[in-house]
Amino acid sequence: MTHSLFPHWKDSVVYSPTGPQPQKLIETGNLRVIVAGLEPGQKIPVHPEAAAMYHFLAGTGWMTVDDERLAVGPGATVVMPAGAQRGVEAETRLAFVAARVA
């Protein structure tokens, strides 16, 4: 595996009127890191997943983890154990990085 430099996240994020278009930054056997953008009102439905970390870069919205609804914005980081139900909803144009381990 080689290293990669992403000088600015804005060059990697994609906002689409049709919904989330996650952009893979790296994927190895047990790690996947993506950057994603959501337009206002767009959602990633609640779903179970492996252990993960979401770091919010821009915008405001909500992250649901199990039955808790968390307000998120620039600089917020949410860490979840494997199996936690999670989803994201954008109030404004929202961008985040997500890292998931297998």
Could you tell me the CATH number of the domain that includes residue 47? 2.60.120.10
Q: Cα(8)–Cα(61) distance, rounded to whole angstroms?
A: 21
Number of structural domains the chain divides into: 1
Q: What is the pTM of this model?
A: 0.93
Per-residue pLDDT reduced to its tens digit, 37-75: 999 999 999 999 899 999 999 999 999 999 999 999 999
User: Does 55 map to a domain?
Assistant: yes
User: Does 6 map to a domain?
Assistant: no
Per-residue pLDDT reduced to its tens digit, 14-39: 999 999 999 999 999 899 999 999 99
User: Does 36 map to a domain?
Assistant: yes
Q: Are the C-beta atoms of residues 48 and 83 closer than 8 Å to each other?
A: yes
Q: Which domain holds residue 97?
A: 22-101
User: Does 15 map to a domain?
Assistant: no
User: Does 34 map to a domain?
Assistant: yes
Per-residue pLDDT reduced to its tens digit, 78-100: 999 999 999 999 999 999 999 99
User: Does 7 map to a domain?
Assistant: no
